[in-house]
Amino acid sequence: MLGFDVIDVVAILLMDELYVESFEIKDVKTLRGEHLSRAIGRLSSKGGKTKFAIKNSTKTRIVIADTKIHILGSFAKVKIARDSLCSLIMESPAGKVYLKLRAVSVRLAERF
């Protein structure tokens, strides 16, 4: 299902509070050609470092399939992950996104 692991798909069926959000890069910003390729590169970065940082800090699952992005997780955490990915698409530096993620994840940890 949308590139997620089988275990994740089974979790969707068993748990009520998991959501899948899908969107395209073009929904955030209209990009063509090399600009689109650079945006995809910013999302995945070298060795998937940025994608894994967002996944680990928000405890979500993220699949980047060409220009489509799928996020699996609880409602609040999916929103945080989507905001981070959208910031990267809108050409924010990765360091700024990391700092914002760190601050949000600390607040999220205090709440739960």
What is the DSSP code (8-state) at residue 91? T
Which residues in 1-13 are b (16+ Cβ under 10 Å) and which e?
eeebeeebeeeee
Amino acid identity, residue 103?
Answer: A
Q: Domains along the chain?
A: 6-111 (3.30.1370.10)
pTM: 0.84
What is the DSSP code (8-state) at residue 63? E
Q: How far apart are CA 60 and CA 81, in angstroms?
A: 8
- Take residue 7 and report the two structure tokens written for it: 């275990």
Judge whether 3 and 61 are in contact, CB under 8 Å: no
Helix then strand then coil, % of the chain, to nearest 5? 60, 15, 20
**pLDDT at position 66:** 86
Phi, psi of 104 (to 5 degrees): -70, -40
7-19 pLDDT, tens digit each: 877 877 777 788 8
Ranges of the chain whose pLDDT falls below 50: none
